[in-house]
């Protein structure tokens, strides 16, 4: 007799997966896949599936190095964002900024969605804004992006300006 219940929370699986239990590892990775995919899509857009796969592989390979189970989701977030950025770099994608042209009387809040504006930004600007939205500070972003902190700060400044220009074109 087989019963299908809700997916278990991944944290109880962590010590088993770290000890080499393949079934626990599979269940753990399956449980975190939606979270990892959501993070990857926010950074890569077009390469979300590739980035998700790369992030899950990095998590699989590095799981035994995680010493503090309470830090699991923060560690997964860090690994995932780093792999998503690497995937974008490997793809050589550097989208151009495309200004939004709303109707004369249109309210930008009604016609432009945040994701639409983000997709119009360059990849480097989209990356820093997304990393900031996930709560990373400039130093953490610099580490994830393998850039100097000053470069991250200038990209963040420019990304915010471009976002504002796209969100409220009349204010530019």
Instruction: State mean pLDDT over 47-52.
Output: 82
Selected residue with higher pLDDT from 95 and 26:
26
- What sections of 45-134 are H helices per DSSP? 48-62, 72-91, 108-111, 114-120, 123-133
Residue entry with tokens 């500070």: 137
CATH code: domain of residue 47: 1.10.1740.10
Is 106 found in the same domain as 171?
yes
E strands, the chain, in order? none
Q: Is 106 helix (H, G, I), strand (E, B) or coil?
A: coil
Calculate the CA 2 to chain-centre distance.
36
Which of 52, 71, 93 lies at the terminal end of a domain, its last residue?
Answer: 93
Is 72 found in the same domain as 130?
no
Report helix angle 149-167 to 138-145, nearest 10: 100
Task: Domain count for the chain, please give it.
Answer: 2
What tens digit of pLDDT does each residue of 67-85 get?
A: 888 889 889 998 998 888 8
What tens digit of pLDDT does each residue of 138-167 get?
A: 888 888 888 899 999 999 999 888 888 877
Question: Is the pTM higher than 0.85?
Answer: no
pLDDT band per the 50, 70, 90 thresholds, residue 169: low
Is 33 found in the same domain as 23?
yes
**Domain span at 155:** 94-172
Which of 71, 93, 115 lies at the terminal end of a domain, its last residue?
Answer: 93
pLDDT band per the 50, 70, 90 thresholds, residue 59: very high
Two structure tokens written together for 86 = 């690497």
């Amino acid at each position: 007799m087989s019963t299908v219940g809700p997916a278990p929370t991944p944290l109880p699986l962590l010590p088993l997966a770290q000890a080499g239990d393949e079934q626990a590892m599979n269940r753990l990775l399956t449980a975190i896949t939606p979270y990892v995919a959501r993070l990857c899509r926010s950074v890569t857009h077009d390469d979300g599936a590739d980035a998700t796969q790369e992030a899950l592989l990095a998590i699989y390979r590095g799981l035994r190095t995680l010493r503090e189970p309470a830090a699991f989701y923060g560690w997964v977030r860090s690994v995932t964002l780093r792999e998503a950025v690497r995937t974008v770099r490997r793809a050589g994608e550097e989208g151009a900024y495309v200004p939004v042209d709303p109707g004369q009387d249109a309210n930008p809040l009604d016609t432009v969605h945040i994701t639409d504006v983000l997709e119009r930004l360059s990849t480097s600007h989209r990356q820093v804004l997304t990393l900031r939205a996930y709560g990373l500070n400039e130093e953490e972003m610099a580490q994830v992006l393998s850039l100097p902190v000053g470069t991250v700060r200038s990209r963040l400044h420019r990304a915010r300006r471009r976002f504002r220009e796209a969100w409220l074109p009349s204010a530019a």
